[in-house]
Amino acid sequence: MSDLIFACMSLDTASVRQMLLLAESLRRWGGELSDAPFWLLIPQEERTCMEGFQGRLSAADVRIADFGVVPQAVSFPFARKVLAAAEAERLAEDAASTLVWMDCGALILQSPAGLQLPPGIRLAARPVDLALIGSRYEGPPDVFWRLIYRECGVPEEHLYPMQSSVDRIAIRPYFNAGLLAVQPRDGLLQAWRDELLRLYMIPEFEPFYQANPRYRIFMHQAVLAGTLLARLSPAESLLLPPTVNYPLHFHQRFPASERPATQDSLTTCRYETLFDQAGWQAKIPPASPELRAWLEEGILS
């Protein structure tokens, strides 16, 4: 059994390129965990998007696994990501003590040994970057969140405060789905899938989707919060430091006191579409010459 397995999802050529950069970052910068298993989850019908990448896939030792889609849910935002995460967790049940589920638009820049879950901890994650639809802690939960908490069975005593990482708003637990470290045998990601498929189309949520598209976009993340809060006591969750899952694309908005001095000081980061923007190098922390050269070469490959 491995200590850690890393997994992510790809659906098209662009996300395969991102996934490869993530896998290669683990192999290059992962220290004592540079040879940890790395899994790609991809629907069978989308495998053609990997054509032309066989050499890099093999060199990065990427294991490829299929996940099934639910036809009625396939067009709902991020539903396929949730389905893929659940399948990765199922496959990892007897293969690892910790599964680290990541967005493909991410990098590992130091040893990720700190993502290994310590005894008694069943989840390690970061708060969301921006509060947006999150439940503000300063007042009672609004109608949307009361529905989430009711439908997921969240006890009131599990609603502790945290801060969104970029805009620094006090919220009830609302986790960033871009990196989740779990014990595969707990089944938390499979419960997330089951709850999303049960809840996303119930009539009570439709007025929120109509009133503000953010509710539809972030429903998967709201259901993630409800799923986890229903199953974990506050003592069983670990909030990771800002050097993990750091949002490079929000670097210039990140609180100045917590901005990293260099990219090299980060453990993992997300970048989303940052590297598609002109002059991206000036928008993020400086990097060592070695890291900068590796990153620029990887973006172009």
pLDDT for position 2: 72
Tokens representing residue 298 in the block: 């990887």
Residue 185: per-residue pLDDT:
96
Contact 105, 270 (CB under 8 A): yes
For the chain, which ranges sit under pLDDT 50?
none
Q: What pLDDT sits at residue 300?
A: 77
| Domain positions in the chain | 2-300
136, with CB counted inside 10 A (0-12, 13-18, 19+), is middle
Cα 197 from Cα 212, distance rounded (Å): 21
What confidence score (pLDDT) does residue 1 get?
Answer: 59
Half-sphere exposure of 126 (CA within 13 A, CB side): 27
* Residue 33 to residues 37, 53, 61, Cα–Cα distance (Å): 9, 24, 13
Is residue 177 a contact partner of residue 220, using CB atoms and an 8 Å limit?
Answer: yes
Q: Tens digits of per-residue pLDDT, 160-181?
A: 999 999 999 999 999 999 999 9
Within 10 angstroms of residue 186's Cβ, the number of other Cβ atoms is 18
Specify burial of residue 20 (Cβ count, 10 A radius: 0-12, 13-18, 19+).
buried
- The tokens of 67 are what? 């996940």
**pLDDT value at residue 301:** 78
Topology given in CATH for the domain delimited by 2-300 = Spore Coat Polysaccharide Biosynthesis Protein SpsA; Chain A (3.90.550)
Instruction: State the pLDDT at residue 236.
Output: 98
pLDDT on residue 109: 98
Q: What pLDDT was estimated at residue 144?
A: 98
